[in-house]
Amino acid sequence: MLTDAQCRNAVCPPDKKQARFADAGGMYLQVSPAGSKRWFLKYRVDGKEKQLAMGSYPDVSLTAARKARDAAKLKKAAGTDPIQARKIEKLQANTPAANTFQVTALEWFDKNQTRWSSHYAIREKRNLEKDLFPYFATRKISDIQAIEVLAAIRKVEDRGALDVAHRVLTTAGAVWRYAVATARTPRDITADLKGALTPHHGKHFAAITDPLKLGALIRVIRGYQGGPIVRTALQLAPMLFQRPGELRGMAWAELDLDAALWTIPAMRMKRKLDGKQNGQPHIVPLPTQAVELLRALNPLTGRGVLVFPGERSHDRPISDNTLRAALLTLGYGPTIQSVHGFRATARTILAEVLEFDPLTIEAQLAHSVKDANGRAYNRTTYMKQRASMMQQWADYLDKLAKGADVIQFKAA
């Protein structure tokens, strides 16, 4: 074993690149011809020899080097490679000092929001600000316990928002996994909450699928005594069966009434951010009835950008609540027929009564349908078939509204 005197007097012969002076337990002092002296620990992992640098002498004394050696050997005995442990310690030292839940969550949010749609980003931010920050904002994330997170999310359940509660847990889980990745906490505690929340079974949008009942609804819609903007939107909702937000946000620039086409930009479609930025627009063939309704509305709103501008601001469309309220005044509440439910109404009757090809229907609904090889069909295909289907669908709605004999569901 070495002594302090030997360490002080150790030199490297001029004809050698380095000289090693062994201590014990694999530790040695390495001396260069220039006189620098460094401590190393030699050990093996899976049969491969490694050297752990432990500092320079005399900054690290013989006693301190032996303590570092013993600590490294304890890590190795516990199954941890001392060099790998050193790398992790350096990474941890370089992580931001602020490790509260709020700082961690906002850092996670900032790193991910560029790949999210604006709607999704708003929802994630709301989950944080409304349901998590009030309880954990200034807490060190590694100190927060799973039972505390569960208690916070139970408060969301208590207000009857079961679906929101599950989304808040998903948001919390993403933050904790980011905290694990950035060495702020050792594990994702939200994994312990799997199955702890009240199960949420998503409800389908209310939709009338009986042709006779649909005919009655079409009649009362056409007799709506409200303004022409809302009346036109109500009539187009079952006829075109696009998503409510896409219908309400219809712009005159998106319409080619001579060609009977409505081109919805990708950014307005319900897609992930990449699909919004790089995807194709969704083209909706317009039946003659829709073209007539839009031409009749043009003198009223055609000088503006939006087809269905709101009363308070012409720069914003009518709200979804406006159409819901209109249906309600007609006697069709949200448990009977929703605006979004017109999609299910059309899908069901077109397939089961009028017997149109499901692929044509799904293309009209702007659903991504995959073939046998898992490739998504282009949403702009089936245009000829969809144009024919949309005209027949509008004609069928006219027949229903008139109370004419209609095709009924076939008996099973």
SS3 of 294-320: HHHHHHHHCCCCECCECCCCCCCECCH
Query: Which pair of tokens denotes residue 168?
Result: 């808040």
CA angle centred on 77, ends 74 and 78, rounded to 5°: 90
Positions marked active-site = 243, 272, 340, 343, 367, 377
Rounded distance between C-alpha atoms, residue 174 and residue 360, angstroms: 38
Pairing of strands 37-45, 48-56: antiparallel
Show the beta-strand stretches assigned E in 63-118.
none
Q: Which residues contact 187 (CB under 8 A, 6 or more apart)?
A: 180
Handedness of CA 29, 34, 35, 38 (dihedral sign): negative
Helices (DSSP H) in 137-196: which residue ranges? 146-158, 162-181
CA neighbours closer than 13 Å in the CB half-sphere of residue 157: 13
Angle between helices 228-240 and 211-222 (to 10 degrees): 160
**Neighbouring C-beta atoms of residue 76, cutoff 10 Å:** 20
On the question of a cis peptide bond just before residue 186, with omega within 30 degrees of 0, the verdict is no
Four-residue CA torsion sign, 60, 63, 64, 70: positive
Q: Which two tokens stand for residue 55?
A: 């500092």
Give the DSSP letter of residue 196.
T
Q: Which residue has the tokens 């039972």?
A: 147
Q: Give the whole-angstrom CA distance, residue 99 versus residue 134.
A: 17
**Helical (H) or strand (E) element with 27:** strand 27-31
